[in-house]
Amino acid sequence: MKKTKIFLFLLLLVIVAPVEAQQKQKQATKRPAISSVQSPVWSLEKANAWYQQHAWITGANFLPSTAINQLEMWQAETFDEATIDRELGWAENIGFNTMRVFLHSLAWKQDTAGFKQRMARYLSIADKHHIQTIFVFFDDCWNKVPLIGKQPDPKPGIHNSGWVQDPGDPFSMDSTNFPLLERYVKNVLQAFATDRRILLWDLYNEPGNSGKLEKSIPLLTKVFQWARSVQINQPISAGLWAWDFEKLNAIQVVNSDVVTYHDYEEPQWHLRVIQMLKSTGRPLICTEYMARTRNSRFSNILPLLKKEKVGAINWGFVTGKSNTIYAWDTPMPDGGEPNEWFHDIFYRDGTPYRKDEVNLITKLNKGNSN
């Protein structure tokens, strides 16, 4: 019954979304770099032309192994260029061309100029390795209260024990914080508005997660408005992830230039999601997949995504302080290695967790085209 409800909702979504998007296209007018007039959602023709300009989009969500969360990655004291360079080199070696990377508003607030300089430095390193970047602004996942400064040590055997929400809880639901968040989004978008090294802006990761549900609608709505008021070359999106979050999903898909989504299901269910979302007429990028113990694997999902011409960005790259080799709901307090890793591809010395997986990834990425 639940699966039936999900796909009935998706059917309605994919019928309504293209119509509403085209209506917005007709109503919008040309605007300057910052304007109260909202730029239009990309037409289907523009979105698909953009997608055809790129090789098949394949890569991972990236956090250097020496960082426990977004703040440890981006703060000046812990921005680890050497590790970023080394690990992106491993990504290049297996043919990955895209990494999805989370920003954090507190790092920008603490040191606005330095934060953007570090973003530029990261982009230079990634570009050296022939990798484009999907940057993520807000996030409703994991620990509620982010704090600037030294980040906590990992808790043994606990998945993402130090990952923090952005802007956090209850901050994301307090509209008095919105003016500062608006300045953050617009300031970053203006700085990189024409940067070819950025593939796409992912405005909000899993809105409604951590029990927020529809309380995330105001910020989700606002961040699309803020982004549309800045003249940028890159598309914007916010990924679908919970098929029963009907109001959130409708906002996300109608306002996205490219449809992004998360799916950790087995192949037969993942395929049905792809088949329904294709009805939007827009390019698809799966920005999170691959949880081995849930039977979402490189062996059964990555070939599917390539066959269906869907971008493929798995969660996890190098095992490290994020502890994502452990499953979401299966902690191992002794910190021992699980029988099967949940996420991640490499040990910290660059050794593949599974050589057969790395061989498959490399093979599928060889001669990459859309």
234-252 pLDDT, tens digit per residue, is: 999 999 999 999 999 999 9
C-alpha 336, offset from chain centre? 29
Predicted pLDDT of residue 26: 43
Give the position of tokens 């098929």: 243
Residue-wise pLDDT for 320-356, tens only, equals 999 999 999 999 999 999 999 999 999 999 999 999 9
Token readout for 28 is 């919008």
CA neighbor of 73 nearest in space, from 96, 103, 98 = 103
Average pLDDT on 305-327 reads 98
Q: Is the pTM of this model over 0.85?
A: yes
Average pLDDT on 274-282 reads 98
Residue spans of alpha helices (H) in the chain: 2-27, 44-52, 70-74, 81-93, 105-110, 112-128, 178-191, 217-228, 246-255, 267-277, 298-307, 355-365
CA dihedral of 58, 267, 261, 172, whole degrees rounded to 10: -120
> Please, is 72 exposed, middle or buried when counting C-beta atoms within 10 Å of its C-beta (0-12, 13-18, 19+)?
buried
Strand 132-139 and strand 98-102: the pairing is: parallel
CA dihedral of 360, 361, 364, 365, whole degrees rounded to 10: -150
Percent of the chain with pLDDT over 90: 88
Predicted pLDDT of residue 25: 44
Query: Mean pLDDT across the chain, nearest whole number?
Result: 92
Q: Which of 16-30, 43-57, 103-117, 260-274 has the lowest mean pLDDT?
A: 16-30
Whether the CB-CB separation of 229 and 190 falls below 8 Å is answered with: no
Predicted pLDDT of residue 4: 43
Whether the CB-CB separation of 19 and 269 falls below 8 Å is answered with: no
Predicted pLDDT of residue 369: 67
| Distance in angstroms (rounded) separating the CA atoms of residues 58 and 313 | 6
Average pLDDT on 251-279 reads 98
Average pLDDT on 193-214 reads 98
| Distance in angstroms (rounded) separating the CA atoms of residues 242 and 329 | 17
Whether the CB-CB separation of 289 and 308 falls below 8 Å is answered with: no
